[in-house]
């Protein structure tokens, strides 16, 4: 029941918030924050009870949903999804508190959207039934669509519709692939099933070097959906638009968690379901990932808008994760997973800080700043710390992730490694250059202007940033506190990738047998 509670509590709280009159903004904010903290507490219970010695699926819940087609309500958690769940539940209260400054109108609608979005994101990470996963995956679009469209900037409608349609195109192809797999399971085993665990057992025919064979097509159908979500070069064009137009909390959710749904999809579905195709086409994805790293960094360098710069840095960082995952060794995969968390924390923090600057000056143009460090010392220090994490300075979390990914990449090929390393250098260049132009040097027009006094961070804003900064160092200094939980699962994924099987934790197996639906053969 724990996983269901974690997944659906936000939805229940959203209904609760919806019942509060819209004029009581403070009550709404408090209730929303409290509820997201409760969910975070529940996820800590999950963390405490999690058995890190096994790669099997834990806390399994399974009920028939559409037994006619073998679709079930099937939740489970393993070392791959565990930290993403925690990341989601951790970031939501931070975002909730952070939104107090940036979301002034229609507060109720915003918090309802945020909580519904949390349910959708958690559901995507926990669902072990492909159709259930698809439902959550798509459902997450709707609240995000409203967030960008209602509270966004001037071109918000263009951005939000583009975001929605782009993502939808990819995921519908995935839906077809899922349906195909359901019938493939029916043809080989005789019963319908949409369980990912059952999909792993399928042997899907693969022909190297040709497109028209089941495994390659299915591989690309899934990969397209996730590549758009990540987003990988050249499918990334929706991301800068969405980020620039989204309100600060929307950007944080988008960068912090929603992009991870794509990389998680690669880890959960693409790599283990289609091992031959994934190995055969790995070069393509590494290649595109590397282009993303370098291209994202170069484009970020020339951005006049801070937020757009951070958005393109996301493209670059997500490129690392893709390269790490498709390196297909333990280093790369571990680094990929770790970098997902890092990116969530540090890019989330960057967006929050950019939002805080914007709230003070209502501009994000880099040229209008300069010397901000004198006016806002606390903000400048925090910004510097987060920048260090983003450019992977040792002792911060970013270093661990990128180092692991580069280790994995060098194992595959030195050439790949060299290109990836240039990305690290470029990343340092554009971030530090931006920091220099915004925080140091002569005071810019916005900083000079005494018309609107610049106040440094309020206690609330410091509370928002504190957990993120703590995590940046914690994850940088003691990566094992985090990676120990995922180690077994990742090793299991990489070592048995050609014949990946995921079992349900034996101690829960009896329970599962009782609740497993009688699969109905035929129709």
Q: How far is the CB of 455 from another protein (least distance, A)?
A: 29
Nearest residue (CB) to another protein, 274 versus 295? 274
Nearest residue (CB) to another protein, 220 versus 482? 220
472: left (phi over 0), alpha (psi -120 to 50) or beta: alpha
Instruction: Identify the H or E element spanning 480.
Output: helix 479-495
Q: How far is the CB of 157 from another protein (least distance, A)?
A: 5
Q: How far is the CB of 280 from another protein (least distance, A)?
A: 22
Nearest residue (CB) to another protein, 138 versus 511? 138
Nearest residue (CB) to another protein, 57 versus 174? 174
- Among 289, 319, 312, CA closest to 434: 312
Q: How far is the CB of 176 from another protein (least distance, A)?
A: 6
Q: How far is the CB of 517 from another protein (least distance, A)?
A: 10
Nearest residue (CB) to another protein, 21 versus 453? 21
Nearest residue (CB) to another protein, 156 versus 364? 156
Nearest residue (CB) to another protein, 176 versus 470? 176
- Spatial CB neighbours of 314, under 8 Å, sequence gap ≥ 6: 239, 243, 255, 259, 296, 343, 347
Q: How far lies 472's CA from each of 40, 41, 397, 438, in Å?
A: 18, 20, 5, 22
Q: How far is the CB of 407 from another protein (least distance, A)?
A: 40
Q: Which residue has the tokens 């928002």?
A: 464
Q: How far is the CB of 294 from another protein (least distance, A)?
A: 31
Q: How far is the CB of 145 from another protein (least distance, A)?
A: 7
- Among 358, 351, 324, 357, CA closest to 338: 324
Q: How far lies 227's CA from each of 52, 238, 352, 450, in Å?
A: 30, 12, 25, 46
- Alpha carbon distance 125, 105 (integer Å): 31
Give the binding site for another protein (CB under 8 A).
Answer: 64-69, 131, 134-135, 138-139, 141-142, 145-146, 149-150, 156-157, 160-161, 164-165, 168-169, 172-173, 175-176, 179-180, 182-183, 523
Nearest residue (CB) to another protein, 145 versus 473? 145
List, in sequence order, every residue forming a beta bridge with 64; answer none if it has no partner: 72
∠ Cα 391 395 400 (to 5°): 65
Residue 98 and residue 90 in contact, taking contact as beta carbons nearer than 8 Å: no
Q: How far does the chain reach from its first CA to its final CA, in angstroms?
A: 31
- Alpha carbon distance 310, 255 (integer Å): 10
Instruction: Compute the residue count for the chain.
Output: 523
Q: How far is the CB of 258 from another protein (least distance, A)?
A: 16
Report CA 316 to chain centroid distance, whole Å.
14
- Alpha carbon distance 274, 445 (integer Å): 55
Nearest residue (CB) to another protein, 142 versus 454? 142
């Amino acid at each position: 029941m724990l996983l269901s509670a974690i997944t659906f509590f936000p939805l229940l709280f959203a209904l609760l918030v919806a019942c509060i009159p819209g004029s009581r903004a403070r009550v709404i904010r408090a209730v929303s924050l409290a509820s997201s903290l409760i969910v975070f507490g529940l996820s800590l219970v999950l963390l405490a009870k999690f058995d890190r010695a096994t790669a099997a699926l834990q806390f399994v819940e399974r009920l028939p949903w559409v037994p006619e087609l073998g679709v079930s309500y099937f939740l489970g958690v393993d070392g791959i999804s565990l930290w993403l769940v925690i990341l989601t539940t951790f970031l939501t209260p931070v975002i909730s508190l952070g939104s107090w400054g940036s979301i002034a109108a229609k507060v109720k609608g915003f918090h309802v959207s945020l909580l519904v979005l949390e349910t959708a994101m958690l559901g995507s990470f926990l669902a072990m039934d492909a159709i259930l996963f698809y439902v959550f995956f798509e459902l997450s679009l709707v609240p995000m669509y409203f967030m960008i469209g209602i509270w966004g900037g001037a071109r918000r409608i263009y951005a939000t519709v583009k975001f929605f349609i782009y993502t939808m195109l990819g995921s519908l192809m995935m839906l077809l692939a899922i349906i195909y797999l359901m019938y493939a399971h029916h043809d080989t085993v005789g019963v319908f099933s949409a369980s990912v665990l059952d999909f792993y057992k399928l042997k899907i025919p693969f022909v190297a070097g040709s497109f028209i064979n089941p495994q390659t097509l299915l591989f690309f159908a899934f990969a397209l959906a996730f590549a758009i979500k990540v987003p990988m070069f050249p499918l990334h064009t929706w991301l800068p638009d969405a980020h620039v137009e989204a309100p600060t909390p929307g950007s944080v959710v988008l960068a912090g968690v929603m992009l991870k749904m794509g990389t998680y999809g690669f880890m959960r579905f693409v790599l283990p379901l289609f091992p031959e195709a994934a190995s055969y086409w790995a070069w393509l994805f590494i290649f595109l990932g590397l282009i993303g790293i370098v291209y994202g960094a170069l484009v970020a360098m020339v951005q006049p808008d801070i937020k757009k710069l951070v958005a393109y840095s996301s493209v670059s960082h997500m490129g690392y994760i893709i390269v790490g995952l498709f390196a297909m060794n333990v280093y790369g995969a571990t680094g990929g997973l770790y970098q997902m968390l890092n990116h969530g924390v540090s890019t989330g923090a960057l967006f929050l800080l950019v939002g805080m600057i914007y709230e003070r000056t209502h501009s994000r143009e880099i040229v209008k700043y300069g010397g901000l460090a004198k006016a806002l010392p606390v903000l400048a220090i925090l910004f510097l710390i987060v920048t260090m994490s983003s450019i992977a300075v040792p002792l911060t979390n970013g270093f661990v992730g990128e180092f692991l990914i580069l280790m994995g990449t060098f194992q595959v090929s030195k050439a790949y490694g060299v290109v990836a390393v240039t990305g690290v250098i470029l990343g340092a260049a554009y971030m530090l250059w931006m920091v220099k132009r915004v925080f140091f040097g002569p005071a810019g027009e916005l900083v000079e202007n005494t018309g609107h006094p610049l106040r440094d961070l309020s206690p609330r804003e410091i509370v928002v940033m504190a957990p993120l900064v703590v995590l940046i160092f914690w994850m940088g200094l003691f990566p094992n506190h985090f990676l120990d939980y995922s180690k077994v699962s990742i090793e299991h994924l990489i070592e048995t990738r050609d014949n990946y099987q995921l079992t349900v934790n034996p101690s829960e197996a009896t329970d599962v047998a009782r609740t497993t639906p009688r699969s109905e053969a035929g129709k």
